[in-house]
């Protein structure tokens, strides 16, 4: 594609160099090849302008930079390269990529799901509902990406705009007409979804998380609000809002003021709500009440949190034109979401569940759900969890308290310690955990901790392995190792005595 076509509509401060053809758009110099346009943008941890020379050495035919100094330097040293200066590199990346990929987003009805908890399950449910009526979709989220039924690895919950638009282009080429995506607060604040027109926006809830990045809950909420208040470009045609959440009540007002139609949902109130809820470990059923009547819902998911997720997905599917019967059939079609209350069955006489819960609120909800499935006075809830390194330290004692208050026994361990010492992270958790008086063991080696947790279990107990869910690796100070909670738990169970536990 010609450089002038790629730059169309991208606000340029100035331009120099020849007219050239562009073979790809890249923001990572390691991916640059002959004819690439390299977008050099300043970020929070690195400055892409430092790699302009590297990109040119690798064959870049054009550079877009957000640094006046880098523009001047490149224009002098590399007169044979097309150079453009823009005000903000990341903001320019989206329209550059949209132009290059010929605006695939214009051919997709976009549904975006944001919130602290429930984004992944809600997105999977909505995707399943759309697929059940033969709509071809692109799914973008934490666990994995789906492009017209093909699974693609998911390095980020919400990818950079260039990568997102490439996924959309692949989907459109394969016949996709819908896209369902998790939209993180980081992505909104960093402009990764800048100017995308969302037909439907979904807000699940807002609880304490990512304060290492956002610093305050007000700033965290402001980032989430960008999907609904018009500051991302245009507010969604329809906003699906959890009005049982205090932040959701505020957001509904903001979205309505921005011109969005509101579909509210909640446990017992809202446009979409649930009646006659019946739960078991194997699934649940309830009556979905909507502005257009009601329908019986049956699903293999269970727990109060999944009622909310189903309400959110159902309202979004309704906004996308599905009938109530189609919504119910779509909900029933989803067997499970990897790493979300995922059971591990290796023949043991107790239940083992792997779940992604990694905030105090999510952990509390997970334990409350488990408590519903153990018999009072007979079964126990055993919870294994840790806290991630290089993340919000203030939530660590809160997670300790949440685990201790709800569980009968706790195993405290590591969860992606990154550059921190695992023992130091555990010490931050202990004040909250010890205050509850629960019996616990601290073991920083996660594999050993999982072994301890299953060895503690007796028939009728439930063991919760929380924090990593679908993840297949453990991030340590100097390396990343393979680590799958599901596989490690299965191995630990298989090592037990034939009765299922060592006592």
Query: Is 50 assigned a ligand-binding role in the annotation?
Result: no
Count of CB atoms situated within 10 Å of the CB of 339: 22
Paired with 337 in beta bridges are: 340
Strand runs labelled E in 229-325: 238-242, 261-266, 272-280, 283-290, 293-299
Res 281: pLDDT:
75
Query: Is 391 assigned a ligand-binding role in the annotation?
Result: yes
Query: Is 359 assigned a ligand-binding role in the annotation?
Result: no
Query: Is 121 assigned a ligand-binding role in the annotation?
Result: yes
* Region at 379 (left for phi over 0; alpha for psi -120 to 50; beta for the rest): beta
- Contact criterion met (CB below 8 Å) for 48 and 89: yes
Query: Is 404 assigned a ligand-binding role in the annotation?
Result: no
For helices 304-319 and 324-333, give the axis angle rounded to 10 degrees: 130
Res 232: pLDDT:
86
Count of CB atoms situated within 10 Å of the CB of 362: 23
Q: Where in the chain is the domain with CATH 3.90.190.20?
A: 342-494
Res 208: pLDDT:
60
Query: Is 418 assigned a ligand-binding role in the annotation?
Result: yes
Query: Is 29 assigned a ligand-binding role in the annotation?
Result: yes
3-class secondary-structure state, position 175: coil
Query: Is 415 assigned a ligand-binding role in the annotation?
Result: yes
* Region at 388 (left for phi over 0; alpha for psi -120 to 50; beta for the rest): beta
Tokens (6 digits) for 437: 């008086």
Query: Is 375 assigned a ligand-binding role in the annotation?
Result: no
Query: Is 91 assigned a ligand-binding role in the annotation?
Result: no
Count of CB atoms situated within 10 Å of the CB of 119: 26
Query: Is 338 assigned a ligand-binding role in the annotation?
Result: no
| Burial group, residue 493, by CB count within 10 angstroms (0-12, 13-18, 19+) | buried
Res 211: pLDDT:
58
Q: Where in the chain is the domain with CATH 3.40.1190.10?
A: 104-333
Query: Is 45 assigned a ligand-binding role in the annotation?
Result: no
The phi and psi torsions of 301 (rounded to 5 degrees) equal -80, 160
Strand runs labelled E in 169-290: 178-182, 198-203, 238-242, 261-266, 272-280, 283-290
* Cβ neighbours for 491, distance < 8 A, ≥ 6 positions apart: none
Query: Is 117 assigned a ligand-binding role in the annotation?
Result: yes
The C-alpha atoms of residue 189 and residue 233 are separated, in whole angstroms, by 13
Q: Where in the chain is the domain with CATH 3.40.1390.10?
A: 3-96
The C-alpha atoms of residue 308 and residue 183 are separated, in whole angstroms, by 18
- Between the alpha carbon of residue 152 and those of residues 109, 365, 383, 499, the distances in Å are 20, 30, 32, 40
The C-alpha atoms of residue 89 and residue 101 are separated, in whole angstroms, by 18
Query: Is 118 assigned a ligand-binding role in the annotation?
Result: yes
Res 189: pLDDT:
87
Query: Is 417 assigned a ligand-binding role in the annotation?
Result: yes
The C-alpha atoms of residue 489 and residue 465 are separated, in whole angstroms, by 8
- Contact criterion met (CB below 8 Å) for 473 and 480: yes
Please write down the HEC assignment for all residues of 41-70.
CECCCCEHHHHHHHHHHCCCCEEEECCHHH
Q: Find the helix or strand (DSSP H, E) in which 308 lies.
A: helix 304-319
Domain 342-494 classified CATH 1.20.1260.10? no
One digit per residue, the tens of pLDDT, for the chain of length 503 reads 999 999 999 999 999 999 999 999 999 999 999 999 999 998 767 899 999 999 999 999 999 999 999 999 999 999 999 999 999 998 899 999 999 999 999 999 999 999 988 999 999 999 999 999 999 999 998 888 999 989 887 777 678 999 999 999 999 999 999 999 999 888 888 888 887 999 999 999 998 665 566 568 889 999 999 999 999 889 999 999 999 999 999 999 999 999 999 999 999 999 999 999 998 877 899 999 999 999 999 999 988 999 999 999 999 999 999 999 999 999 999 988 888 888 899 999 999 999 999 999 889 989 998 998 888 888 999 999 999 999 889 999 999 999 999 999 999 999 999 999 999 999 999 999 999 999 999 999 999 999 999 999 999 999 999 999 989 999 999 899 999 999 999 999 999 976 444 44
| 88-101 burial: b if 16+ Cβ within 10 Å, else e | ebbbbbbbbbbbbb
Query: Is 120 assigned a ligand-binding role in the annotation?
Result: yes
Class of domain 104-333: alpha beta
CA 340 to chain centre: 12
The C-alpha atoms of residue 40 and residue 385 are separated, in whole angstroms, by 40
Res 503: pLDDT:
42
Q: How far apart are the first and last CA of the chain?
A: 69
CA 81 to chain centre: 38
As its CATH architecture, domain 3-96 has 3-Layer(aba) Sandwich (3.40)
Res 84: pLDDT:
97
């Amino acid at each position: 594609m010609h450089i002038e076509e790629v730059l169309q509509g991208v606000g340029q401060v100035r331009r120099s160099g020849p007219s050239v053809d562009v073979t790809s758009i890249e923001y990572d110099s390691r991916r640059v090849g002959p004819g690439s346009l390299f977008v050099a943008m300043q970020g929070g941890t690195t400055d892409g302008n430092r790699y302009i020379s590297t990109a040119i050495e690798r064959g870049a035919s054009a550079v877009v930079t957000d640094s006046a100094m880098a523009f001047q330097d490149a224009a002098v040293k590399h007169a044979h390269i097309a150079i453009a200066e823009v005000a903000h590199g990341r903001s320019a990346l989206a329209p550059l990529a949209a132009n290059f990929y010929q605006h695939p987003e214009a051919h997709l009805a976009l549904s975006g799901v944001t919130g602290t908890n429930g984004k992944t399950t809600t997105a999977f449910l909505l995707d399943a509902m759309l697929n059940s009526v033969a709509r071809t979709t692109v799914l973008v989220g934490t666990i994995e990406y789906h492009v017209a039924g093909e699974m693609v690895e998911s390095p980020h919950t919400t990818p950079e705009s260039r990568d997102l638009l490439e996924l959309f282009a692949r989907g459109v080429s394969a016949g996709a007409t819908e896209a369902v995506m998790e939209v993180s607060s980081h992505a909104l604040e960093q402009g990764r979804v800048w100017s995308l027109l969302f037909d439907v926006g979904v807000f699940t809830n807002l609880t304490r998380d990512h304060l290492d990045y956002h610093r305050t809950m007000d700033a965290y909420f402001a980032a989430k609000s960008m999907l609904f208040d018009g500051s991302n470009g245009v507010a969604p045609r329809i906003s699906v809002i959890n009005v049982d959440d205090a932040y959701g009540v505020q957001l509904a007002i903001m979205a309505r003021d921005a011109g969005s139609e509101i579909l509210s949902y909640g446990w017992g109130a809202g446009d979409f709500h649930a009646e006659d809820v019946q739960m078991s470990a194997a699934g649940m059923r309830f009556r979905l009440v909507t502005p257009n009547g009601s329908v019986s819902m049956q699903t293999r998911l269970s727990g109060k949190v999944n009622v909310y997720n189903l309400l959110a997905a159902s309202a979004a599917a309704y906004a996308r034109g599905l009938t109530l019967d189609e919504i119910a059939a779509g909900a029933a079609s989803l067997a499970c979401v990897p790493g979300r209350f995922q059971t591990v069955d290796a023949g043991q006489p107790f239940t083992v569940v792997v779940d992604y819960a990694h905030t105090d609120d999510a952990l509390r909800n997970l334990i409350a759900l488990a408590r519903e499935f153990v018999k009072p006075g007979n079964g126990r809830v055993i919870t294994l969890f840790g806290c991630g390194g290089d993340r919000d330290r203030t939530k660590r004692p809160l997670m300790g308290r949440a685990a201790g208050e709800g569980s009968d026994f706790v195993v405290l361990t590591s969860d992606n310690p990154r550059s921190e010492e695992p023992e130091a992270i555990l010490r931050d958790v202990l004040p909250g955990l010890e205050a509850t008086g629960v019996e616990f063991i601290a073991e920083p080696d996660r594999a050993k901790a999982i072994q301890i947790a299953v060895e503690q279990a007796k028939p009728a107990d439930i063991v919760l392995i929380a924090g990593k869910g679908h993840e297949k690796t453990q991030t340590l100070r100097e390396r990343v190792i393979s680590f799958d909670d599901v596989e490690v738990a299965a191995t630990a169970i298989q090592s037990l005595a034939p009765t299922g536990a060592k006592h």
